[in-house]
Amino acid sequence: AVVELAAHFMIFAVFFQLSDAVAAPIQGILRGFKDVNVTLILSLIAYWVIGLPLGYTLAEPFGVGPDGYWIGLIAGLAAGAVLLFVRLVYIVRRYKPEPVEIKS
pLDDT, tens digit, 9 for 90 and up, residues 4-32: 989 999 999 999 999 999 999 999 999 99
Euclidean distance between CA atoms 85 and 73, whole angstroms: 18
Q: Is the pLDDT of residue 104 over 80?
A: no
Q: How many domains does the chain have?
A: 1
Question: What digits encode the pLDDT tens for the residues 30-82?
Answer: 999 999 999 999 999 999 999 999 999 999 999 999 999 999 999 999 999 99
Domain membership of residue 43 as a residue range:
2-94
What ranges in the chain are assigned the alpha helix state H? 2-32, 36-44, 52-59, 66-94
Residue 34 domain-assigned (yes or no):
yes
How crowded is residue 13: how many other Cβ atoms within 10 Å of its Cβ?
Answer: 12
Residue 102 domain-assigned (yes or no):
no
Residue 89 domain-assigned (yes or no):
yes
Phi, psi for residue 33 in degrees, rounded to 5: -80, 0
Residue 100 domain-assigned (yes or no):
no
pTM of the model: 0.84
Residue 103 domain-assigned (yes or no):
no
Residue 57 domain-assigned (yes or no):
yes
Residue 86 domain-assigned (yes or no):
yes
